[in-house]
């Protein structure tokens, strides 16, 4: 018997219409857990680096995590994995909500889709009954309409639906995959669905999930719930209010937007408005949000309400969380939160990434104001920024006129436009738009994370650490009950917090490189564990002092999945997954040249020191000077098949 997981994947070939229920390999579960870990093993085995994103031979995987759908609080993540049309590397995007648990209850851990349908279709999974259905009537429909119409057509009690909108149908490189309550936005997974003529996947399940040792598992789950309640009642002092709790940054619950609006950059990631936030803005924005926010909601089996239902008269209602509340406002230099709520409604109904889309539009506005784009490129272009954003969004999702170029994202659009447009591409890493933040002094910890992170999204890499030195009067209190630190690292990590900000203990040349590497590794490893188990990062890898950590997760894996797991083995597993993800991208051409943040990310840069930091991190991770995992590293982790492939391709020498 398989525990926590179902032991079966659903394989669908849209070219032939073939549907198979295929048993998965339990040894892969032991080595990679599930979710992103086993997704990447499948991707490695089936998609060689010669395969292009929009090839029928490319696959897209929709996966629950190993603990998804169990009673582990927040174990609800769907991990979507494929080849990104924007970066041309592998990519994975994650959403919360209810879809992944329903997939597990239907009897599947993953859906693996290959091929291309000749016509627009959707997949309907009702326990063991699986159908590929005609979706011609859904063509051009919004993500919200698609979900509603599928539910009406199936006449079933709330099947969970993943859907694409117009952007996905038109293969916009930053098209998202949307559910009723969450979004997988990054790296263009919606475009892969659109290329395969797959409009949606609906699922409903009523089966049980087996747990190896239920009493032990539930005891741990109850302890996690108790700690969640404790953290909700005891915010961390000395940090921005939205970061003081657990879950996603609590921007839909709180009204204090000072930190984001004065720390992050406006427009095309150009302008930092340190004096923007004042009492008048705070009052106006609070009124706007109180009017638009109808209800705070949570994902499956989670008491933390991070997301809100937003309703603005005349616009479709939708859900929103975190910084997406501000991305359009700040990119458009709008100063108007009501505009942000309205355009986000339209954007999500079309299915576009709420981080990338506003930056692409700000990029276009900047090109127009610089004379690189003209009236000929943008006929009838409005004079007011908010109206410009509505104009550009419509052009992009339809791939009309200049929108057909902008739909490929800033990096590719700049090179197609030419005429110096490349100079305006200043906020991408690995061809993908990043959070619009430009700072002063180099942060060596974030330098490594921005440079080497495979997830193309800093919020899915960072966590556990404050973003600035804590006030002196709370440091001792903070470290006193900092139980989340991995075993053996307690003294040095606590010392870092206690000393950070003291004379001689400031960035960029402190802390020492070896400690930087350890701090980065901790943050990254926790995310890879979450993404393999299907846990919400907001309860584990992202916030300060989260409920899940390296001391209780091994117990949950052991008791839930029946895999003997201790802290050392879980740590090694996370490193194995991290290296498999890296190797998958190395095989597609990723090298040291790709591991760099934007040139203007910090005003004060130190190229020689940064090169040294990268060398140190590569060495710490067991990679060579090009960022390629070495023979010794791969063999130690049981990734001999990766080493053999690298030798065959000339990436490593025998």
Q: Residue 541 belongs to a domain with what CATH number?
A: 1.10.599
For CA atoms 254, 257, 263, 267, give the dihedral sign.
positive
Asked whether residue 209 is assigned to any structural domain, the reply reads no
> How many other C-beta atoms can be found within 10 angstroms of the C-beta atom of residue 411?
20
Long-range contacts of 249-253 (CB under 8 A, 24+ apart): 249/322, 249/323, 250/306, 251/321, 251/322, 251/323, 251/325, 251/326, 252/289, 252/293, 252/296, 252/306, 252/307, 252/308, 252/320, 252/321, 252/322, 252/325, 253/296, 253/305, 253/306, 253/308
pLDDT category of residue 259 using cuts at 50, 70 and 90:
confident
Can you tell me whether residue 34 is helix, strand or coil? coil
pLDDT category of residue 553 using cuts at 50, 70 and 90:
very high
Query: Would you state the pLDDT for residue 455?
Result: 81
- Average pLDDT rounded to a whole number, residues 337-347: 97
Q: Considering the chain, what percentage of its residues have pLDDT values greater than 70?
A: 100
- 111 strand-pairing partners: 10, 62
Report the run of H or E that residue 644 belongs to, with start and end: helix 640-649
| CATH classification of the domain holding 358 | 1.10.569.10
State whether 336 and 460 are in the same domain. no
Name the residue among 201, 200, 199, 187 with its Cα closest to residue 53.
Answer: 187
State whether 398 and 482 are in the same domain. no
Residue 577 CA, chain-centre distance (Å), reads: 16
Q: Is the pLDDT of residue 456 over 80?
A: no
Query: Would you state the pLDDT for residue 460?
Result: 77
State whether 271 and 337 are in the same domain. yes
The number of distinct structural domains making up the chain is 3
State whether 382 and 481 are in the same domain. no
Name the residue among 33, 62, 72 with its Cα closest to residue 536.
Answer: 72
Query: Would you state the pLDDT for residue 338?
Result: 97
State whether 477 and 330 are in the same domain. no
State whether 416 and 478 are in the same domain. no
| CATH classification of the domain holding 192 | 3.60.9.10
199 DSSP 8-state letter: E
Query: Would you state the pLDDT for residue 193?
Result: 98
Name the residue among 115, 116, 152, 121 with its Cα closest to residue 136.
Answer: 121
State whether 463 and 418 are in the same domain. no
Which of 413, 431, 449 finishes a domain?
A: 431
Cα separation, 329 vs 347, whole angstroms: 13
pLDDT category of residue 459 using cuts at 50, 70 and 90:
confident
Per the structure, the complete domain to which residue 120 belongs is given by 8-204
Query: Would you state the pLDDT for residue 503?
Result: 96
Q: Is the pLDDT of residue 529 over 90?
A: yes
Asked whether residue 515 is assigned to any structural domain, the reply reads yes
Residue 489 CA, chain-centre distance (Å), reads: 27
Cα separation, 340 vs 363, whole angstroms: 18
Report the run of H or E that residue 218 belongs to, with start and end: helix 214-233
Cα separation, 402 vs 373, whole angstroms: 9
Query: Would you state the pLDDT for residue 176?
Result: 98
State whether 152 and 290 are in the same domain. no
- Name the pairing type of β-strands 602-604 and 265-266: unpaired
Q: Is the pLDDT of residue 507 over 80?
A: yes
- Average pLDDT rounded to a whole number, residues 98-112: 98
Query: Would you state the pLDDT for residue 329?
Result: 97
Cα separation, 453 vs 95, whole angstroms: 19
- Average pLDDT rounded to a whole number, residues 276-284: 95
State whether 293 and 365 are in the same domain. yes
Question: Is 138:156 a contact under the CB 8 Å cutoff?
Answer: no
**Secondary structure of 602-625 as H, E, C letters:** EEECCHHHHHHHHHHHHHHHCECC
Cα separation, 383 vs 406, whole angstroms: 19
Cα separation, 329 vs 144, whole angstroms: 23
Which of 185, 204, 223 finishes a domain?
A: 204
Q: What is the pLDDT of residues 43-91, one digit of tens each?
A: 999 999 999 999 999 999 999 999 999 999 999 999 999 999 999 999 9
Q: Is the pLDDT of residue 257 over 90?
A: no
Query: Would you state the pLDDT for residue 250?
Result: 85
Query: Would you state the pLDDT for residue 241?
Result: 87
- Average pLDDT rounded to a whole number, residues 480-484: 96
Asked whether residue 15 is assigned to any structural domain, the reply reads yes
Asked whether residue 226 is assigned to any structural domain, the reply reads no
Q: What is the pLDDT of residues 125-175, one digit of tens each?
A: 999 999 999 999 999 999 999 999 999 999 987 899 999 999 999 999 999
Asked whether residue 654 is assigned to any structural domain, the reply reads no
Within 120-197, strands assigned E span 121-126, 129-134, 160-163, 177-178, 183-184
Asked whether residue 225 is assigned to any structural domain, the reply reads no
State whether 392 and 494 are in the same domain. no
**256 or 103, greater pLDDT:** 103
Name the residue among 199, 152, 208 with its Cα closest to residue 177.
Answer: 199
- This model's pTM is above 0.75: yes
162 DSSP 8-state letter: E
- Average pLDDT rounded to a whole number, residues 13-26: 98
Which of 431, 453, 479 finishes a domain?
A: 431
pLDDT category of residue 358 using cuts at 50, 70 and 90:
very high
Query: Would you state the pLDDT for residue 619?
Result: 98
Asked whether residue 227 is assigned to any structural domain, the reply reads no
Query: Would you state the pLDDT for residue 574?
Result: 98
State whether 417 and 450 are in the same domain. no
Q: Is the pLDDT of residue 575 over 90?
A: yes
Report the run of H or E that residue 320 belongs to, with start and end: strand 318-320
Q: What is the pLDDT of residues 173-222, one digit of tens each?
A: 999 999 999 999 999 999 999 999 999 999 999 999 999 999 999 999 99
Cα separation, 35 vs 42, whole angstroms: 11
Asked whether residue 229 is assigned to any structural domain, the reply reads no
Name the residue among 44, 52, 63, 59 with its Cα closest to residue 87.
Answer: 52
State whether 448 and 423 are in the same domain. no
Indicate the average pLDDT of the chain: 96
Question: How many helices (H) and strands (E) in the chain?
Answer: 24, 21
Question: Is 245:235 a contact under the CB 8 Å cutoff?
Answer: yes
Q: Is the pLDDT of residue 304 over 90?
A: yes
CA atoms within a 13 Å half-sphere pointing along the CA-CB vector of 6: 30
C-alpha separations of 505 from 498, 500, 517 in Å: 10, 5, 17
């Amino acid at each position: 018997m398989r525990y926590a997981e179902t032991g079966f994947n659903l394989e669908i070939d849209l070219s032939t219409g073939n549907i198979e229920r295929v048993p998965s390999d339990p040894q892969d579960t032991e080595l990679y857990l599930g979710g992103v870990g086993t997704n990447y093993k499948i991707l490695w085995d089936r998609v060689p680096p010669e395969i292009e994103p929009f090839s029928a031979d490319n696959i897209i995987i929709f996966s629950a995590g190993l603990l998804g759908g169990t009673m582990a609080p927040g174990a609800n993540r769907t991990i979507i994995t494929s080849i990104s049309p924007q970066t041309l590397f592998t990519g994975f995007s994650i959403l919360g909500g209810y879809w992944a648990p329903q997939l597990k209850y239907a009897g599947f851990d993953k859906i693996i889709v290959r091929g291309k349908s000749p016509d627009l279709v959707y997949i309907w999974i009702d326990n063991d009954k699986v159908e590929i259905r005609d979706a011609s009537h859904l063509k051009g429909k919004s993500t919200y309409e698609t979900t509603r119409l599928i539910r009406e057509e199936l006449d079933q009690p709330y099947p969970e639906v993943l859907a694409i909108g117009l952007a996905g149908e038109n293969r916009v490189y930053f098209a998202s995959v949307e559910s009723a309550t969450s979004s997988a936005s990054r790296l263009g997974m919606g475009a892969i669905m659109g290329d395969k003529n797959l409009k949606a996947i609906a699922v409903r399940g009523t089966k049980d999930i087996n747990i190896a040792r239920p009493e032990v598992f539930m005891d741990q789950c109850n302890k996690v719930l108790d700690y969640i309640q404790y953290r909700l009642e005891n915010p961390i002092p000395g940090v921005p209010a939205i970061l003081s709790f657990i879950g996603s940054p609590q921007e839909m619950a709180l009204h204090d937007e000072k930190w984001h609006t004065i720390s992050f950059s406006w427009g095309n990631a150009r302008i930092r408005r340190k004096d923007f936030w004042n009492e008048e803005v705070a009052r106006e924005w609070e009124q706007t949000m109180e009017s638009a926010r109808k209800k705070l909601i949570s994902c499956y089996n989670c008491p933390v309400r991070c997301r809100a239902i937003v309703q603005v008269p005349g616009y479709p209602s939708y859900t929103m969380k975190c910084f997406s509340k501000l991305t359009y406002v700040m990119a458009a230099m709008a100063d108007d939160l009501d505009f942000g709520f309205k355009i986000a409604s339209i954007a999500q109904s079309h299915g576009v990434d709420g981080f990338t889309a506003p930056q692409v539009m700000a990029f276009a506005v900047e090109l127009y104001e610089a004379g690189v784009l003209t009236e000929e490129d943008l006929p009838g272009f409005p004079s007011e920024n908010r109206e410009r954003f509505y104009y550009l969004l419509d052009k992009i999702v339809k791939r009309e006129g200049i929108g057909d170029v902008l739909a490929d994202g800033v990096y590719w659009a700049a090179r197609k436009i030419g005429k110096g447009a490349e100079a305006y591409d200043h906020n991408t890493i690995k061809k993908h738009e990043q959070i619009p933040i430009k700072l002063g002094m180099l942060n060596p910890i974030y330098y490594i994370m921005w440079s080497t992170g495979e997830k193309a999204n800093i919020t899915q890499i960072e966590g556990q650490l404050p973003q600035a030195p804590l006030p002196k009067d709370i440091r001792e209190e903070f470290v006193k009950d900092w139980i989340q630190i991995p075993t053996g690292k307690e003294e040095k990590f606590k010392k870092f917090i206690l000393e950070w900000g003291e004379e001689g203990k400031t960035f960029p040349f402190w802390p020492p490189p070896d400690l930087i590497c350890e701090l980065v590794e901790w943050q990254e490893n926790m995310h890879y564990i979450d993404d393999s188990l299907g846990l919400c990062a907001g309860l584990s890898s992202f916030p300060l002092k989260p409920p899940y950590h390296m001391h209780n997760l091994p117990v949950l894996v052991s008791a839930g999945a029946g895999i003997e797991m201790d802290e050392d083995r879980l740590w090694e597993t996370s490193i194995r997954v991290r290296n498999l993800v890296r190797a998958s991208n190395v095989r597609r051409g990723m090298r040291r040249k790709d591991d760099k943040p934007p040139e203007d990310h910090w005003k004060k840069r130190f190229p020689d020191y940064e090169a040294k930091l990268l060398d140190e991190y590569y060495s710490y991770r067991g990679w060579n000077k090009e960022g390629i995992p070495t023979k010794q590293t791969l063999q130690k982790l049981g990734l001999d098949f990766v080493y053999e492939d690298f030798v065959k391709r000339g990436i490593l020498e025998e």
